Amino acid sequence: MPLKDALPTQGRFSQWRPNWVILTLGLAMLAAVWGLPTVSVAANRIVSGTGYPVWQALSWGGGALASLIILAMMVLASHPERTRLSYVAQFAAMVLLLLLMPFGLMAASHWLVDASQPQARLGIGPAYWVVMFLALLGLIELRLRLSLARGWMALLLIGIGAVWLGCAALWLDSLALVQEFQVREAQFYQAIRQHLALVTIAVSVSIVLGMGIALLMRRFYRLQRGGFALLNFFQTVPSLALFGLLLAPLAWLSANVPFAAQLGIKGIGWTPALIALIIYSLLPIVRNTYVALEAVSPDVLDAATGMGMRTSQRFWQVRVPLALPILLEGVRITMVQAIGLTAVAALIGAGGLGAFIFQGLGQAAMDMVLLGALPILVMALAADAGIGALAAQLRRGAAYD
Amino acid sequence: MSRKPQPSLSTYHPAQLLVPVIWVVLLALAVVAMPATEAVFRWLAPDARQVIYQRADFITLLGRHLFVVGVAALFTVSVGLLAGVAVTRQWGRDFLPLATQVASMGQTFPPVAVLALAVPALGFGTLPIIVALVLYGLLPIVRNTIAGLKDVDLATISSARGMGMTDGQILRQVELPLAAPVILAGVRTSITINIATAALGSTVGASNLGDPIIAGIINTNMAYVVQGALVIALLALSVDSFFEVLQRRLRSHTA
């Protein structure tokens, strides 16, 4: 600790230490609620909607309710004593706000959307997005203050998501996002399946390949520098460029080698996508496998030898289990990266959720873009949290043994 | 298992400057000499009416690409550094846990999704791409600034204070120089990713080096695709290798 901090602080207000984070977030939320359009209403899919402020969308009562919840949270946050109970109450306020938001959309749709026009649709306005984002930041902050387990947080978010989805499915027919989904329900599920299939195949192939390469690098030192240099080089090449550069040789292959064509290898489609995804995925896997195996302490290996373990036993029963958490970290990075890159692969006809994004951008239909982008975001966050939790579990297991 | 001693990665030699220079020369050559290579690209796309991308010349496209990435980098580096420094000061400590958490979580947001979400909010054109690049590029810089500043030994700071340095002097003369390699690594990641992501901007109406690729994919003209991909790849490699040299130089200074 720096010496300065150990000195007694003086001044009248030194006792008043509010949680500035929550206060700032609360102020920003209030500004968003009253300053930005809450919802927008459009006559059809293509025209841009007109925005409505909160007093028209949710009535004065709705705006007041939202402000009241936020103000309550801010008052709690500025209380001098930072007790656990106060943090729990602030947390509850945030959750309540997030749970009430879809009902606000229902009210807005009831008041603003003309039921006689089937094409009319309700768009979620900037105020909604900003408040949602800030509320999630608030939840993260409060989770850290309460040192709540990740699992509980995940369950809570799934619960909130379920309420949103339930409201959307049952009562929010006029929501533009829901309308986009209803038109292409089958396509949507197929896109998710394609996306997941591409990611899973690419990641599993690169796990097997990458570990093999890492093991070879450990055996043959010469391979190491060249190997890492090559993989780093590929990681630097932009995804769009790599997808593009693969089109030409693969098209040539399918045109000139009949066997390749029979296998379904084409210049456009899943083949270049898969190859590019595997190339990108290799670096994190190889690097983490290598680092993980190297990081095992020589003392532990020495002890294993002393216990009479053979080389293979030492490798499989000591090195690999101890290296597993770092290895999983590599898988996590790869998985998250592949989920994002697969979206770009839609440009070369590989399908997946990216197809919605780029079609939507092409048609200037922003809700279709959201229909593609939001699930990708959710998938990336879920993969990150899931594999992260698994790695944490393994670490804890290793610590207890 | 006998192993040769590993050559230290932190050695800096002026000859290493040759690598980025070679990439830059190749990039310049590719941009200037593209129209002269028609014969090569004719072979790639024998049926196409045109084989060299004509709608804008490659120098203009490169300029626009660099402009977008540069403006974004200006914002990300200055704001990211300020934010990273602010949350590690005594008065900004409250924000440190949240900033750390968000910066690491933000890495999971795919750049395409960030771009796709920026367009509904800001419309088509160059603005959404710059905003998306700024948002996305901020996180690695903030994360690495925080990590670099936190890694500075507290004893070093204490002794600097003991020497009579003020807080500002400690930050400028002790903390930032010691954290510089880590911060620079963040800047490198941020800018390299942004060069790649900016190419996607041509799907939202911002003309840049992504244009030939997109046009080539739409018209199934392989020659266009290869031209765009080649120039972007060379640009990314030039910038990245430049940072590599800079990092080595910095490391050999601090070592």
From chain A, the residues in CB contact with B240 under 8 A are: 236
Cα B80 to Cα A114: distance, rounded to the nearest angstrom = 46
Residue A333: which domain range? 185-400
The count of structural domains within chain A is 2
Task: Give the CA distances from residue B101 to residues A73, A127, B60, B148, in Å, rounded to whole numbers and listed in that order.
Answer: 21, 24, 40, 16
Domain boundary among the residues A164, A182, A200 is at: A182
Q: Is B204 on the interface with A (CB under 8 A)?
A: yes
Q: Which of A240, A371, A379 to mutate to test the interface with B (most CBs of B within 10 A)?
A: A240
Closest CA to B55 of B239, B212, B254: B212
- Position A12 scores a pLDDT of 46
Among A182, A198, A231, residue at a domain's last position: A182
**Nearest residue on chain A to B199, alpha-carbon basis:** A240
DSSP designation for A290:
H
- β-strands A121-124, A50-52 pairing: unpaired
Query: What are the φ/ψ torsions at residue A329 (nearest 5 degrees)?
Result: -60, -40
Give the whole-angstrom CA distance, residue B75 versus residue B103. Answer: 16
Q: Smallest CA–CA separation between A252 and chain B, in Å?
A: 9
Q: Which residue has the tokens 């209803």?
A: A182
Domain membership flag for residue A334? yes
d(CA B17, CA A9): 52
Answer whether B108 touches A (CB < 8 Å).
yes
Tokens 């290296």 found at:
A323
In a domain, A8, yes or no: no
Instruction: For residue B248, give both structure tokens.
Output: 């080595």
* pLDDT tens digits for range B72-99: 999 999 999 999 999 888 887 888 888 8
Q: To probe the interface with A, which of B93, B98, B115 has the most A CB atoms within 10 Å?
A: B98
Written as one string, the DSSP assignment of A20-83 is HHHHHHHHHHHHHHHHS--EEEESSSSSPPEEE-HHHHTHHHHHHHHHHHHHHHHHHHHSSS--
Model ipTM? 0.78
Please check whether residues A345 and A359 belong to one and the same domain.
yes
Q: Is residue A205 located within the same domain as residue A147? A: no
Does residue A115 share a domain with residue A24?
yes
Give a yes or no: residue A109 inside a domain. Answer: yes
Contact B87, B99 (CB under 8 A): yes
Residues A121, A244 within the same domain: no
Question: What's A283's domain CATH number?
Answer: 1.10.3720.10
Residues A120 and A189 in one domain: no
Q: Report whether CATH 2.60.40.10 matches the domain B37-254.
A: no
Asked whether the predicted pLDDT for residue A377 surpasses 50, the reply is yes
pLDDT in tens, A292-332: 888 888 888 888 888 888 888 888 888 888 888 888 888 98
Q: Which two tokens stand for residue B8?
A: 């230290």
Nearest chain B Cα distance for residue A21, angstroms: 6
Between A128 and B78, the higher pLDDT residue: B78
In angstroms, what separates the C-alpha of B241 from chain A's closest C-alpha? Answer: 10
Chain A CB contacts of B107 under 8 Å are: 336
Touching A: B residues 113-132, CB under 8 Å: 113, 116-117, 119-121, 124
Whether residue A109 sits in one domain with residue A55? yes
pTM of the full predicted structure? Answer: 0.83
Residues A261 and A307 in one domain: yes
Residue B2 clears pLDDT 50, i.e. is over it = no
Q: Let me know whether A171 and A307 are in one domain.
A: no
8 Å CB contact between B139 and B107: yes
The answer to the question of residue A10 being in a domain is: no
**Beta strands across the sheet bearing A50-52:** A50-52, A39-42, A121-124
What pLDDT digit, counting tens, does each position of B27-70 carry?
888 888 777 777 777 777 767 677 777 777 888 889 999 999 99
B65-78 per-residue burial string, b: 16 or more CB within 10 A, e: under 16: bbebbeebbebbbe
Task: Write the residue in B97, B158, B226 that is nearest to A3 by C-beta.
Answer: B158
Mean pLDDT, chain A, integer: 82
